[in-house]
Chain A
Amino acid sequence: MTKIPTILTDRLVLREPEPQDFEAYAAFMADARSVMNGGPLDRPAAWGSFAREIGHWTLRGYGLMTLVDKASGAIAGQVGFWNPEGWLEVELGWRVFEGFEGKGLAFEAAVAVRDFAYDTLAWRPLISVIGPENDRSLRLAKRLGARLERDDWQTPAGKPALIYRHPSAGALANAREEAHA
């Protein structure tokens, strides 16, 4: 299994989650805004969810990465891969914590991990699983070039979800060439 290394972008360090990330995670999950991202969860429920996200790394070799804001050292959110048993296929997912929204950080991180998945892991086109009312995430999926593929799936926990399909590595390379032409 390829272990995913720490990834650097212009403004972020993307690394495997560590136990000390829990406070920022619990604060985000306690907030009503996390309703689109698996929340809201009280602190005990957030602890269980956080433990599962760490275990996901051992079971799959990949998972959700913690985004560290280079400038402040603060935890800005999470971006990465999610694929528990019962999921459709590997998902590219993201959460942006309070105070770090609206800066394009999730876009920056998602592009970086998607490039890693395509270029280093040679993965096929990824999906993103998004709640139908999560306007912010739907906008980000579209900005990433993903297209709605199906609207009839429910998560194993019974939540309705839209499945967006990301462009392939080849399609992204072509788009980049065109942008430079």
Chain B
Amino acid sequence: MTDIPVIETTRLSLRGPEPEDYPDFKATFTSYRARFMGGPLNAYEAWMLYAAEIGHWQIRGYGMWMIHDRQTDETYGMAGGWKPAKWPEPEIAWVIWPDRNGKGYALEATHAVRDYLYAQCGWDTAVSYIDPKNLDSIRLAERLGAVKDHEAATIDGNDAVYRHPTSEALSGTQLAHGIEMEIGHYADPLFKPKGWALD
């Protein structure tokens, strides 16, 4: 069995998916929120997908972490490395529960898992496969420094491929400082994000 590492960030604790987190996963994946991720799923499909997320860790040695609040332990979503059999390349993926968005949790979690996958899992590049209608996710990919890669193979032609900056491009650069500053703003209790979430 792969022992799934725990990643700690300013506000978050990222752990492997556990049985008791399933109801939160199910709530999102059976909802309209899952429309860009192959959903909404019925209960059986959601359970099977959650089982696959766990099996992915055992088979690949990496996978999707469950995002927990460090203080309260409640879950906010998932982020991590994802490469089921049909994927052309390993992906950095994320999902935030619909009532938890707009707080920068996806940015904070994804920034941390990307560092981990580069430093500990030997990744030298990474993509994110995003539904072109999923504007929130495209915006996040761009804040993470990812750029649309028109040459890269897609999963099935219905997804846009965003190529993440390499480990070198994130090491002590303006890009990395910008991401960390933005996470810092979100983590600041006085910070109020402008505008409102799209969904």
Contact = CB atoms under 8 A, between A and B. Distances in A.
Contacts of A33: none
Contact of A86 (B47, B54, B59): B47
A85 B44 contact: yes
Contacts, number: 71
B31 to A, nearest CB: 16
B22 interface: yes
Interface stretch (A45-53, A121-129, A145-153): A45-53
B110 to A, nearest CB: 22
Size class of the B contact interface (CB-based, 8 Å): 20 to 34
A128 B19 CA distance: 25
Given A59-B19, A85-B43, A54 B58 contact: yes
Interface in B26-54: 42-48, 50-54
Contact of B19 (A19, A58, A157): A58
Interface residues of A, number: 22
A132 interface: no
Interface of B: 18-19, 22, 42-48, 50-56, 58-59, 84-86
Interface of A: 19, 22, 43-48, 50-56, 58-59, 84-86, 156-157
27 contacts: A19-B58, A22-B59, A43-B85, A50-B55, A50-B59, A51-B51, A51-B52, A51-B54, A51-B58, A51-B59, A52-B52, A52-B55, A53-B51, A53-B55, A54-B55, A54-B58, A54-B59, A55-B51, A55-B52, A58-B51, A58-B54, A59-B22, A59-B51, A59-B54, A86-B43, A86-B47, A157-B44
